[in-house]
Amino acid sequence: MATYAEKDYDSNNYNSQRPRYPPSLYKALFDYHQGDRDLALDVGSGPGVASFPLLQYVDKVIATDASPVMIQPGIESISDKHKGRIEFKVSPGEDLRDVVPKSSSVDVLICAEALHWIKHEPFFQEAARVLKPGGTLAFWGYIEPRFVDFPEADKIYEKYVFEDPQYMGPCWIQPGKDFLRYFFDDVHPPESEFKDIEKWDYYPEKKQKRTAYFLGDDKYTMQKFRGYLGSFSAVHTWRKRNPNATVDIVDLMINEMKETCAWTDDTEINTEWGTTYIFARKR
Binding site for ligand SAM (CB under 6 A): 1, 4, 18, 44-46, 49-50, 65-67, 70, 92-94, 112-114, 117-118
Least distance in angstroms from the C-beta of 128 to ligand SAM? 17
Least distance in angstroms from the C-beta of 5 to ligand SAM? 6
Question: Which CB, 236 or 282, lies closer to ligand SAM?
Answer: 236
Residues whose CB is less than 8 angstroms from the CB of residue 105 and which lie 6 or more positions away in sequence, other chains included = 39, 130, 132
Question: Which CB, 67 or 237, lies closer to ligand SAM?
Answer: 67
* CB neighbours of residue 257 within 10 Å: 22
> 277, 25 in Cβ contact below 8 A?
yes
Question: Which CB, 16 or 104, lies closer to ligand SAM?
Answer: 16
Least distance in angstroms from the C-beta of 246 to ligand SAM? 29
- Nearest-angstrom CA–CA distance, 127 and 124: 5
Least distance in angstroms from the C-beta of 151 to ligand SAM? 27
Question: Which CB, 1 or 229, lies closer to ligand SAM?
Answer: 1
Minimal CB distance to ligand SAM: which residue? 46
Question: Which CB, 146 or 177, lies closer to ligand SAM?
Answer: 177
Least distance in angstroms from the C-beta of 82 to ligand SAM? 17
Question: Which CB, 49 or 187, lies closer to ligand SAM?
Answer: 49
Question: Which CB, 220 or 232, lies closer to ligand SAM?
Answer: 232
Least distance in angstroms from the C-beta of 113 to ligand SAM? 4
* Beta pairing partners, 200: 277
Least distance in angstroms from the C-beta of 31 to ligand SAM? 20
